[in-house]
Amino acid sequence: MKQVKSSLRLKAGLLFLGLLVFCSPAHAGPTSSNLLVDLEDALVSLAESVQPAVVNLSPYVPPSPSVGRMDKPTGRATNAGAGVIFDAAGGYIVTNSHVVRNADRVTVTLFGGDELVGRVLGADEDTDLAVVQVESDHPLNSVRFGDSSRLRVGQLVVAVGNPYGLHDTMTFGIISGLNRENVNLSRYEDFIQTDASINPGNSGGPLLNIRGEVIGINTAIINYAQSIGFAIPANMVKRVTSDLIEHGEVARGWLGVGIEPVTPEVAAKAKAVAGSGVFVNAVFEGDPAHRAGLKPGDIILRIGGAPVDSPSKMIRLIGVISPGQSVNLDILRDGKTQVVSVLLEKQKKIREALVRKPSPLLDLPPLGIEIEEVPAGAQEGGPSVVISNVFADSSAAASGLQAGDRILALNGENVDSRMSYLRLLDGVSTGEEVFLLIQRNEDKIHLALVREN
């Protein structure tokens, strides 16, 4: 076992100076030559230190067809890519989940060509990370993680991987951006953007700083765009890999609300600031938010003291808190701020659809739904009102309402007939909020809509 210990002490300023000198023949001389030699030696040393810990991952092929048929069916990875050994003693390798998707075993090719069979311990599609474990008769090389919270735009980075099957390829660049989200690559997005060349086959490989520390795991590129690649920050990688090794999955906190951005229209009605916080449009009855007293119409401004400015950031902040922990939410209600403490539960994936984006309405019913009255005896309980149709372009559809949902109350008053629904809705003016209590199977959902016409 051997831990990579980079001896690089060359500062970023020196590297930049070397590059500037290289581009300026007028300054060529003994000093500039020495700087370029130092730059070259630094990059060569980095490559020699890190490359032995970078592996190639490819679909596992059983030794013979007969062996494959005798055992239970084994899934195969759909894509080849890279990975990096981060724990030599345990044989743990981190890579992208899409590299090992649908596989329980993969072929791991070490630096130098030796092949091992790796077992997929767990994968997390929400962050596009996975952990593979190998057993080796020989000592393995590994890398160490850096602190991605200390990164700055402009820092020098190196990406290592196997683009297009070209093993042990190293590219050089800078950090072009931080905290990139809404790229639609995964659910929990907080990417490092880099201009270091990343191509198919780099997925799962490391992004390193000049000290040889892994600051991210390369995950994707934007097709048809040059010099735009993304990496998952090391701090996120450390937490996810720890959970995957210990539990085989990632345990995330669950709040139990539907959310949307604070648009200028929402901000005007709620006496808030557009782009600051997230608007709560639904609260699941019995879930943590409901038990803590959150209501549709609240705006969540901070989570554990960290500001929230988008649904993606709120999902990420809640997701890094372990179930069973309490967190303070700073909320805005009726123009006044207050703090609410919430005890989080384990994430419930079945309700993730209630993150919506407002859409314009044209000649639709007031709430974008059609209803029908169900008489007593047709189902449990007395007469009730059930949603029979949800218009595709309505805010009701965007909020997650479904045909078959039962309307129990509107603005706090019981709804038990079509007449009571229309009477209560008639008391709401265009542009005002409507608060519904919905029953869906065993769930009760508090939902906020806006009457559009």
Strands 141-142 and 2-3: parallel
In sequence order, the β-bridge partners of residue 122 are 131
Q: What is the dihedral of CA 386, 388, 389, 390, to 10 degrees?
A: 20
C-beta atoms surrounding 212 within 10 Å: 23
Amino acid at 433: E
The set of residues, in sequence order, having a beta carbon less than 8 Å from that of 352 and lying 6+ positions away, is none
State how far the Cα of 37 lies from the Cα of 104, in Å rounded to an integer.
46
- Residue 151 burial by CB count (10 A; 0-12/13-18/19+): exposed, middle or buried? buried
247 is catalytic: no
Residue 217 DSSP SS3? strand
Q: Outline where 196-340 has alpha helix (H).
A: 234-247, 264-270, 288-292, 311-319
Question: For residues 121 and 106, is the Cβ–Cβ distance under 8 A?
Answer: no
Q: Work out the angle between the directed axes of helices 12-22 and 30-50 (0-180°, nearest 10).
A: 120
The answer for residues whose C-beta is within 8 angstroms of residue 62's C-beta and 6 or more apart is 68, 71, 74
Active-site residue among 32, 49, 97, 98? Answer: 98
Which is nearest to 155 in space by CA: 84, 233, 228, 208? 208
One of 32, 58, 197, 203 is an active-site residue; which one?
A: 203
CA-to-CA distance for 215 and 235, rounded, in angstroms? 8
What SS3 class is residue 299? Answer: strand
Contact 243, 126 (CB under 8 A): no
Beta carbons within 8 Å of 431's beta carbon, 6+ residues apart: 269, 450, 451, 452
Active site residue 128: yes
Given 87, 124, 126, 128, which residue is catalytic?
128
| Interatomic CA distance for residues 210 and 147, integer angstroms | 13
> DSSP states of 29-42 as a string?
SHHHHHHHHHHHHH
Q: Which amino acid is at 122?
A: G
Q: Is 186 a catalytic residue?
A: no
Residues counted in the chain: 453
Long-range contacts of 173-180 (CB under 8 A, 24+ apart): 173/197, 173/227, 175/151, 176/227, 176/228, 177/153, 178/151, 178/152, 178/153, 180/230
Catalytic (active-site) positions: 98, 128, 203
